[in-house]
Amino acid sequence: MAFYSILYEKGKREKNEDTVAIHKFTTIDGEVIMALVCDGCGGMDMGECASGYMTECIEDWFYSDLPDKVRRGTGRRGMARDLKNLIFRAHEEIRRYGAGLGKQLGTTLTLFISVNSRYLILQSGDSAAYSISKRSGCLTAKHAKGGRLTRCIGSGKYNAPSLTLGKIRAGSAFLLVSDGMCHTLEGRDYSGALMPQKIKDADAASRGLRTLADAAMRRGETDNISAVYLHF
Amino acid sequence: MIMNREQKKYKPGDRIGKYILMEELASGGQGVVFLAKGKVIRQKYAVKIVYGRKGDEGRRRLRAEAGMLSSLSDSRIPYLADFIETDTASALVMEYVEGTTLTTFLRTHAPVTEERALELLEDAASVVAWLHSRQPAVIFRDIKPDNFMMTSDGELRLIDLGCALSGYGQVKDDVSYGTVGYAAPEQLAGKAVTPASDIYALGALFSYMVTGSDPVIPPFKPAGPEECRFTVSEGSLDILRHSLAPSPFVRYQNGEEMLDKIKRVRSELAGKNAGPLSRRILSVLYRAAIVISCLDVALFDALLLKDWVERFYDYPLIFEYILKNIYPTRFIPWHMGFMITALLFIPLKKAIGYIIMRRERYVVSRDWAVHYTSKQGRGL
């Protein structure tokens, strides 16, 4: 694994309701990396509590449960199953908490986990994950219709996140973004700013992400803008 | 080239007193630092030059720094060699410390392992503890990686006492010293500094070492225990809690207290890695058994070749001795046991050891743990 870069911008909002995290540990067999973007749902209160809590649950699982699973050779589908159970429990906990306060909390989730050159992505909501290459492709489904979310964690009926599996090639790059970036930008914008052949180190990646954030704001974006760039 | 009175600035090649300036090492608000050589004794020195008229604030501070250096004598702090005053500048000549700054080291290596970070922190804290133990106590006020030099054998030495304060209480100057990100909150607010202010900076330094996140970068806040909870042990989290506390009364009160804690955490970690005493004793006994078994097998093979050897050489008397004393019939079971150990249990033990190691030490290192959120606290 070469390097990563993170963008975490409030945009024109009063507070940043997104949560972004990246973690990595090395085992005897190889590297395990987790990156996630959680966007506290716009229009709902205390979005940062929902996104922060979801992130904490996944981080705890990453360090306490995942090493054993990797050691025993659990496949990605087995890990995804485990994660979906965890996300369901978090969904119920957030819903219960919100009901106690008389508020509606919710968060989207884009979770990327790589284990020894293979990855899985779990997606719920309108944040997204892209593979950055000459023709950047979106790897996740968008769970939104007419400006409203059709899947969200912590609010309404539980819908399991969608799963994407794939292989990582040396020199490839991935980008996880919140909706603040993917509303106004497209795949060609990402590949223009973050082409793996151009991005040689974390500083270059930071500059690329900064360029994208500025472009999004010039195009009228007002939402929080969060992104994680991973270069293998 | 001799410095001209009208000439304001020194440059490499100029002479000041009995020192020849060779190259500029650094320049900043507090003056310019040159590498210099003595004109007669060709030893290297670091020369810090501050320009201005006699009586100017900068030159008075440099004189105070010279006074402070002359009163301090420790191998971890550069010694004062000379102090020169001209009409246009003052120059502080001190020992040149060879090495790289801790900044350079951390830019390429951070985050480092917890053990290495604690080792470096102990070095840094020990010199700060020595300063705090002076009478009156010396508060450094500008602890940061730039002010530590790492020598070729990996030891840290403190440089640049320009901000150091001797005796603490109310800050007499109107200027707040320190570097944003490393300076304690009371220091930035212009309130009284105490040795606990240096403790905050040491905590920020430790946080940088274990997370790779430099506090001088916005938002100018060192990563706290929450951000490090997956990367370091409970003992190190405790060090972070007690050094980065916003209130100086909650922090370690001086370098000595912090140094004690660091040493305890290091020995706890070392003890945990070494394993329990019984396991170590078993390991030593097993290794001794392996060595004896291998020697026994080698000796037995030598005896088997006795007849072949006799065709070319005279039969060595040593073999007669061995047959008679080490390989009589009543010792055969012992030798069989040694051979079984050598041929069977070594690979078996290695296989079991590998399985145990995979179970207990599967995770070799925790490398990144970066988390951005505006949520306060954990849980809901």
In the CATH hierarchy, which top-level class contains the domain A3-231? alpha beta
DSSP state of A107: B
Q: Is residue B368 part of a domain?
A: no
Do both B126 and B263 map to the same domain? yes
Distance from CA of A27 to the nearest CA of B (A): 4
For residue B197, the tally of other CB atoms under 10 A from its CB is 26
Q: Is residue B245 part of a domain?
A: yes
Confirm if B227 and B241 have CB atoms less than 8 A apart.
no
Q: Is residue B365 part of a domain?
A: no
Query: Is residue B124 pLDDT above 90, yes or no?
Result: yes
CB-neighbour burial class of residue A65 (10 A; exposed 0-12, middle 13-18, buried 19+)? middle
Q: Is residue B378 part of a domain?
A: no
Confirm if B139 and B193 have CB atoms less than 8 A apart.
yes
User: What's the pLDDT band for B169 if we cut at 50, 70, 90?
Assistant: low
Which residue of chain B has the CA closest to A98? B380
The SS3 of residue B159 is coil
Do both B165 and B38 map to the same domain? no
Q: Can you read off the two tokens belonging to residue A222?
A: 């007002």
User: Pick the residue with more confidence: B68 or B342?
Assistant: B68
pLDDT for the residue numbered B3? 45
Do both B146 and B258 map to the same domain? yes
d(CA B45, CA B15): 13
Look at A8 and B372 and tell me if their CB atoms are within 8 Å. yes
Paired strand residues for A230? A4, A174
pLDDT digits (tens, 9 = 90+) for A65-98: 999 999 999 999 999 999 999 999 999 999 999 8
DSSP A124-144: ESS-EEEEESTT-EE-S---E
Do both B144 and B257 map to the same domain? yes
Cα dihedral across residues B262, B267, B268, B272: positive or negative: positive
Q: Is residue B4 part of a domain?
A: no
d(CA B238, CA B304): 64
pLDDT for the residue numbered B281? 79
For residue B224, what is the domain's CATH number?
Answer: 1.10.510.10
Do both B216 and B285 map to the same domain? no
Q: How far is CA B313 from the centre of its chain?
A: 61
Sequence spans of domains, chain A: 3-231
DSSP B102-115: HHHHHHHHPSPPHH
Residue where a domain stops, chosen among B80, B95, B110: B95
Do both B203 and B106 map to the same domain? yes
Query: Is residue B376 pLDDT above 80, yes or no?
Result: no
Q: Can you read off the two tokens belonging to residue B120?
A: 């470096």
Alpha-carbon distances of B69 from B58, B64, B80, B102, rounded to whole Å = 16, 9, 6, 21
Residue where a domain stops, chosen among B45, B63, B95: B95
Look at B370 and A6 and tell me if their CB atoms are within 8 Å. yes
CB-neighbour burial class of residue A133 (10 A; exposed 0-12, middle 13-18, buried 19+)? middle
pLDDT digits (tens, 9 = 90+) for A102-129: 888 899 999 999 998 899 999 999 999 9
- Within 8 A by CB and 6+ apart from B261, the residues are B235, B238, B239, B242, B252
* Measured distance between the N- and C-terminal CA atoms of chain B, rounded to whole angstroms: 70
For residue B65, what is the domain's CATH number?
Answer: 3.30.200.20
Question: What ipTM does this complex have?
Answer: 0.89
Alpha-carbon distances of B41 from B17, B19, B35, B66, B80, rounded to whole Å = 13, 9, 15, 22, 16
Range of the domain at B66: 15-95
The mean pLDDT value of chain A amounts to 89
Do both B264 and B282 map to the same domain? no
Contact status of A107 with chain B (Cβ, < 8 Å): no
Alpha-carbon distances of B93 from A127, B38, B54, B160, rounded to whole Å = 59, 10, 18, 12
User: Pick the residue with more confidence: A172 or A42?
Assistant: A172
Look at B373 and A55 and tell me if their CB atoms are within 8 Å. yes
pLDDT digits (tens, 9 = 90+) for B309-360: 667 666 667 766 766 676 666 777 777 777 777 677 777 878 888 888 787 7
B chain contacts of residue A226, beta-carbon cutoff 8 Å? 372
Restricting to B residues 212-231, those with a Cβ less than 8 Å away from any Cβ of A are 230
Look at B368 and A49 and tell me if their CB atoms are within 8 Å. no
Do both B157 and B37 map to the same domain? no
Alpha-carbon distances of B65 from B29, B55, B70, B100, B157, rounded to whole Å = 15, 15, 9, 23, 17
Look at A97 and B369 and tell me if their CB atoms are within 8 Å. no
Radius of gyration of chain B from its Cα atoms, rounded to whole angstroms: 31
Question: Phi-psi category of A11—alpha, beta or left, where left has phi over 0 and alpha has psi -120 to 50?
Answer: left
Distance from CA of B161 to the nearest CA of A (A): 32
Bridging pattern class, strands A3-9 and A144-145: unpaired
Do both B106 and B28 map to the same domain? no
For residue B18, the tally of other CB atoms under 10 A from its CB is 14
Distance from CA of B102 to the nearest CA of A (A): 20
Q: Is residue B366 part of a domain?
A: no
User: What's the pLDDT band for A41 if we cut at 50, 70, 90?
Assistant: confident
pLDDT for the residue numbered A121? 97
Paired strand residues for B101? B149
CB-neighbour burial class of residue B329 (10 A; exposed 0-12, middle 13-18, buried 19+)? exposed
Do both B154 and B41 map to the same domain? no
CB-neighbour burial class of residue A73 (10 A; exposed 0-12, middle 13-18, buried 19+)? exposed
Which of A49, A51, A95 is most worth mutating to test chain B (most B CB atoms within 10 A of its CB)?
A49
Do both B301 and B353 map to the same domain? yes
Please state the rounded mean pLDDT for residues B210-217.
85
Look at B368 and A24 and tell me if their CB atoms are within 8 Å. yes
The SS3 of residue A222 is coil
Residue where a domain stops, chosen among B61, B95, B129: B95
pLDDT for the residue numbered B1? 41
pLDDT digits (tens, 9 = 90+) for A165-221: 999 988 889 999 998 888 888 888 888 889 888 888 888 899 999 999 999 999 988
Q: Is residue B8 part of a domain?
A: no
For residue B38, the tally of other CB atoms under 10 A from its CB is 16
Among B230, B358, B371, beta carbon nearest to A28: B358
Domain count within chain B: 3
Which of A17, A56, A176 is most worth mutating to test chain B (most B CB atoms within 10 A of its CB)?
A56
Cis peptide before B333 (omega within 30 of 0): no
A132, A130, A162, A164: which is closest to A144 by C-alpha?
A162
